């Protein structure tokens, strides 16, 4: 399990890294994704393109940081249908340990 206090990039609020912006951005959507999966169509904002647009970076840059966060155990990646898309896409939500702040 990941302890949120051990994640150094979450501490510095003056210079927010892309990882911090992703965590902040996903915090408003994670409960919706976690509760709706696997049967619902999820909001576009939680797929790679939506996250990148939401935090103001390119999709490849967001994907690199999302993979880092996934390896650290901060986010979970699933394949799900996204509103406005006919195929499944990679969507992300924060793990329980991060959402609860434990």
Whole-prediction pTM: 0.75
Helix extents (H) in the chain: 18-27, 30-36, 48-55, 59-72, 96-100
Q: Which pair of tokens denotes residue 82?
A: 């996204």
**pLDDT digits 0-9 by tens, 33-71:** 666 656 788 889 999 999 999 999 999 999 999 999 999
Q: Which pair of tokens denotes residue 16?
A: 């927010």
Tokens 């898309």 — which residue?
85
The predicted model gives 72-95 an average pLDDT of 90
List, in order of start, the domains of the chain with CATH numbers: 16-100 (1.10.10.10)
Of 72, 83, 79, 96, the closest CA to residue 10 belongs to 72
Please, what is the average pLDDT of the chain?
80
Tell me what pLDDT residue 100 has. Answer: 46
pLDDT band at 30 (very low <50, low <70, confident <90, very high): confident
Tell me what pLDDT residue 80 has. Answer: 87
Contacts of 35 (CB under 8 A, 6+ apart): none
Q: Which pair of tokens denotes residue 99?
A: 């959402």
pLDDT band at 8 (very low <50, low <70, confident <90, very high): low
């Amino acid at each position: 399990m990941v302890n949120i206090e051990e994640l150094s990039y979450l501490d510095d609020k003056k210079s927010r890294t892309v990882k911090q912006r992703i965590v902040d951005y996903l915090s408003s959507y994670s409960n919706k994704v976690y509760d709706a999966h696997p049967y619902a169509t999820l909001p576009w904002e939680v797929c790679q393109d939506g996250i990148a647009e939401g935090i103001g970076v390119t999709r490849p840059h967001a994907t690199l940081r999302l993979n880092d966060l996934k390896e650290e155990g901060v986010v979970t990646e699933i394949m799900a249908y996204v509103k406005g898309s006919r195929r499944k896409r990679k969507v992300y939500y924060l793990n329980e340990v991060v959402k609860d702040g434990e």
